[in-house]
């Protein structure tokens, strides 16, 4: 049976990693990255490379754990297998109560923003959040009542999201027209921002997020110990190339000042410049489908998470939540749990945007930054396994884990720099959720 599972080669592994990592973040985080870099294009590119390195070192390090077990489940399984079930419960709680729902909420809101642009609805936060909430609930219904339709939409969105990214990059390479005028100069000289450019690593982490999920396919890859480190290096480099090409394409077409002034709406204006009056709407349709594909994927995963944790007895009311409806093959209580938690986070997100307490950031970036803190436990475990002789290659067992820890530290520091007042508070909330899962499992099993 184990041999039959090994059906992925290097090419398939790379394509799966690229498909997972390339999401919607680059469409609405490019202006944030440029802003934190003081409008300096070269510094922005440097941040992209730093983010990619953090991903590569983390990817390869976690692949060493994945190669040691045939268990599925990704990061939760690594915590359970190599650290303890209590640690797995802690990470599971973080994913269920903070990570998945906060990201799904923010991406749903962004889908609302692009819907407002596309159909020229009133451009208010309330309208954006209202549309985003509709999308969030709709995809819960879609994925609960029709596994097939959810899968079809996911495949369509994966292809669609690459078209504007690669297209803008190619067009920008050959673009020679003068830059459009801006009504005001918003850039800040790079030399005046100090170490503030590290804050750009928070939106970079969002744009690359999903890489950790890719390690869950390791047990299905042929010759995983050799193939996965290669795939987990090539994959993020391809993602980096696509992102940098798109970013430079946008800069070549409209310039950094224009991007900073028009922010998320820049892509609409680029579409109009390239393809005429309807070009902006055409580009927005592609991006909206891509963003909704990310919402669909996040909801698809979050629907199943309460059920998976309940089957292990890691959350309250597990006996009820793990019951599966034979018609949908999913747990209705898990779906309700996912939807309820997501709606709470939508309210938190609305309040944070309304009060601007995160200074242009959002709650999803904080959850992603906290996830890098949790990865440090796994990186440390790889080092311990290397010292015990389980992992014999010192590069994979010591050098890459240490570089992964450094990368995590840099991203955490960048997240705090982006908002030193409220980001630590939100990180503390994530820490409380993580600790709550640990204590609950310890009490439940005692």
pLDDT, mean of residues 370-397: 92
Fold of 10-444: Amino acid/polyamine transporter I (1.20.1740)
Contacts of 389 (CB under 8 A, 6+ apart): none
CA-wise closest residue to 300 among 132, 129, 104 = 104
Backbone angles phi, psi at 121, to 5 degrees: -75, 165
User: Residue 436 class from Cβ within 10 Å (0-12 exposed, 13-18 middle, 19+ buried)?
Assistant: middle
List, for residues 279-298, the tens digit of each pLDDT value.
888 888 888 888 888 888 78
Residue 386 is predicted with a pLDDT of 92
- Out of 37-41, 71-75, 200-204, 345-349, least confident range: 71-75
- Indicate the average pLDDT of the chain: 83
Under the banding of pLDDT at 50, 70 and 90, the label for residue 35 is confident
Cβ contact 60:236 at 8 Å: no
Weakest mean pLDDT among 20-24, 165-169, 189-193, 388-392: 189-193
User: Residue 242 has what pLDDT?
Assistant: 87
E strand segments, 64-119: none
Q: 220 pLDDT exceeds 70? A: no
**Using CA atoms, how far apart are residues 222 and 16, in angstroms rounded to an integer?**
14
Q: What pLDDT shows up at residue 136?
A: 94
Q: Which residue has the higher pLDDT, 177 or 378?
A: 378
Please return the burial class of 283, using the count of CB atoms within 10 Å of its CB with bins 0-12, 13-18 and 19+: buried
Q: pLDDT value at position 213?
A: 64
d(CA 6, CA 26): 33
183 pLDDT above the threshold of 70? no
Across 120-131, average pLDDT: 94
The 3-state DSSP class for residue 330 equals strand
Distance CA 85, CA 293 (A): 32
**pLDDT band for position 277 (cuts 50, 70, 90):** confident
Question: Residue 190: is its pLDDT beyond 50?
Answer: no
Rounded average pLDDT over 163-184: 80
> Which residue has better confidence, 25 or 272?
272
Closest among 314, 306, 301, 392 to 84, alpha carbons compared: 314
Q: What is the predicted pLDDT for the residue at 188?
A: 47
pLDDT given at position 168? 86
Q: What is the pLDDT of residue 5?
A: 53
Residue 221 or 121, more confident: 121
| pLDDT tens-digit series, residues 396-421 | 889 999 999 998 998 888 888 878 88
Give me the mean pLDDT over the 12-18 stretch: 73
Which residues contact residue 15 at a Cβ distance below 8 angstroms, ignoring those fewer than 6 apart?
none
- The predicted pLDDT at position 192 comes to 59
According to the model, what pLDDT value does residue 1 have? 39
Instruction: Please give the structure tokens belonging to residue 152.
Output: 């079809």
pLDDT value for 154? 58
Q: What is the pTM of this model?
A: 0.83
Which residues share a beta bridge with 95? none
pLDDT in tens, 45-75: 998 898 888 888 888 888 888 777 766 667 8
SS3 8: strand
CB burial of residue 313 (10 Å; 0-12, 13-18, 19+): middle
Domain ranges of the chain: 10-444
**183-192, 243-252, 308-317, 407-416, range with the lowest pLDDT:** 183-192
For the cut 70, the answer to whether the pLDDT of residue 359 exceeds it is yes
Confidence check: pLDDT of 366 > 70: yes
pLDDT on residue 384: 94
Assess whether pLDDT exceeds 60 at residue 112.
yes
For range 335-350, the mean pLDDT: 94
Please give the average per-residue pLDDT across 79-108, as a whole number: 92
Confidence class of residue 189 from pLDDT cuts 50, 70 and 90?
very low
Dist CA 240 CA 171 (whole Å): 18
Q: How confident is the model at residue 148 (pLDDT cuts 50, 70, 90)?
A: low
Q: Which two tokens stand for residue 408?
A: 């995590």
Whether residue 16 contacts residue 197, with contact meaning beta carbons closer than 8 Å, is answered with no
Given this model, what pLDDT does residue 184 score? 58
pLDDT at 214 over 70: no
User: Distance between CA 367 and CA 206 in Å, rounded?
Assistant: 10
Residue range 175-197: average pLDDT?
Answer: 65
Backbone angles phi, psi at 356, to 5 degrees: 60, 35
């Amino acid at each position: 049976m184990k041999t039959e599972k090994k059906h992925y080669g290097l090419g398939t592994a790379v394509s799966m990693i690229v498909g997972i990592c390339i999401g919607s973040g680059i469409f609405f985080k490019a202006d944030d990255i440029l802003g934190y870099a003081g409008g300096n294009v070269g510094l922005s590119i440097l941040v992209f490379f730093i983010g990619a390195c953090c991903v590569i070192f983390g990817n390869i390090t976690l692949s060493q754990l994945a190669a040691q077990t045939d268990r599925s489940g990704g990061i939760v399984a690594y915590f359970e297998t190599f650290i303890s079930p209590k640690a797995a419960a802690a990470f599971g709680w973080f994913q269920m109560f903070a990570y998945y729902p906060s990201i799904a909420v923010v991406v749903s809101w962004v889908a609302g923003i692009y819907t407002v642009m596309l159909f020229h609805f009133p451009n208010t936060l309330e309208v954006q959040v209202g549309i985003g909430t509709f999308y969030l609930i709709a995809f819960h219904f879609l994925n609960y009542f029709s596994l097939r339709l959810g899968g079809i939409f996911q495949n369509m969105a994966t292809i669609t999201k690459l078209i504007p990214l690669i297209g803008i990059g190619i067009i920008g390479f050959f673009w020679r027209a003068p830059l459009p005028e801006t009504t005001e100069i918003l850039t800040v000289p790079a030399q005046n921002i100090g170490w503030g450019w590290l804050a750009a690593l928070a939106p970079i982490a969002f744009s690359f997020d999903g890489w950790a999920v890719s390690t869950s396919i390791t047990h299905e890859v042929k010759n995983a110990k050799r193939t996965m480190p290669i795939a987990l290096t090539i994959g993020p480099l391809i993602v980096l190339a696509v992102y940098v090409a798109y970013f430079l394409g946008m800069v070549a077409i409209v310039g950094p000042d224009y991007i900073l002034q028009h922010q998320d709406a820049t892509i609409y204006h680029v579409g109009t410049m390239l393809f005429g009056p309807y070009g902006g709407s055409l580009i927005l349709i592609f991006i909206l489908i891509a963003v909704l594909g990310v919402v669909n994927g996040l909801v698809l995963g979050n629907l199943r998470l309460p059920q998976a944790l309940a089957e292990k007895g890691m959350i309250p009311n597990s006996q009820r939540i793990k019951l599966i409806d034979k018609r949908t093959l999913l747990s209705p209580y898990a779906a309700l749990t996912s939807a309820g938690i997501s709606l709470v986070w939508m309210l938190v997100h609305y309040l944070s945007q309304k009060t601007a307490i995160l200074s242009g950031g959002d709650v999803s970036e904080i959850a992603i930054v906290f996830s890098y803190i949790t990865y440090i436990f796994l990186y440390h475990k790889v080092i311990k396994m290397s010292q015990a002789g389980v992992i014999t290659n010192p590069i994979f067992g010591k050098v890459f884990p240490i570089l992964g820890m450094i990368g995590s530290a840099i991203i955490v520091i960048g997240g705090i720099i982006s908002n030193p007042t409220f980001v630590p508070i939100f990180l503390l909330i994530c820490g409380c959720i993580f600790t709550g899962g640990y204590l609950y499992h310890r009490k439940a099993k005692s």
